[in-house]
Amino acid sequence: MLEAASLEELSKLAAKCCKKRPSKKDKSAPRVPPKPPRSGPPIDWVLEFDRLPISQNKTTYSPWYVHHNDKRDWLRRISLSAYKLGGTFLYSSWRVERHYGGRNKEFDHANLVGGLKGFFDSLVQLGVIQDDAPTFFKADYVQFPATKSFTRLVLLEYQLAADQPRVQNPSQG
């Protein structure tokens, strides 16, 4: 058992240790004003993902969780780079490029479009596009043989609000 004097010493020592240290920030230095929210064109017109879409045949004739896991994986990947696109588009036109290489083969068009359903559902869920209905969204799907397999999403044009004109991708002119 500790004596009263040693308890007092311990409490003084604890109070000394727990004192707030002075801030190292110089209060007289000018503060940098915060950046205003961006309302202009997107930062990036192109997003690349090191993953290929799966064939529609794989999700149709498989248990429910195959499609669910595919959609969840696209959501995770897109969420890491969706901030580069700016905000929600009133209308947008996209080109999806599937670059396949190695053991991967070319899909027929129906399997390619169906396999990317989770991809565009993820864009809707993240708020990049309002809906994947034709009034808000258009997509072209192309495939290229390559040495490395990846998926590229290219924004061709967008419109942020009804009173603003559509903006074209300058590199697609």
C-alpha to C-alpha distance for 149 and 114, rounded to whole angstroms: 19
Can you give the pLDDT of all 173 residues of the chain as single tens digits? 445 556 567 666 656 655 555 555 555 545 555 544 445 544 568 888 888 888 888 777 788 888 888 888 888 888 887 777 777 888 889 999 999 988 888 888 888 888 888 888 888 888 888 888 889 989 999 999 999 899 998 888 888 878 888 888 877 76
Q: How far apart (Å, rounded) are the C-alpha atoms in residues 143 and 112? A: 9
Report helix, strand or coil for 57.
Answer: helix
Q: Burial, 125: exposed, middle or buried (Cβ in 10 Å; 0-12, 13-18, 19+)?
A: middle
Q: Which domains does the chain have, with CATH numbers?
A: 46-172 (3.30.1330.70)
Question: What is the residue whose two structure tokens read 């596009």?
Answer: 129
Q: How far apart are CA 166 and CA 173, in angstroms?
A: 14
pTM of the prediction? 0.67
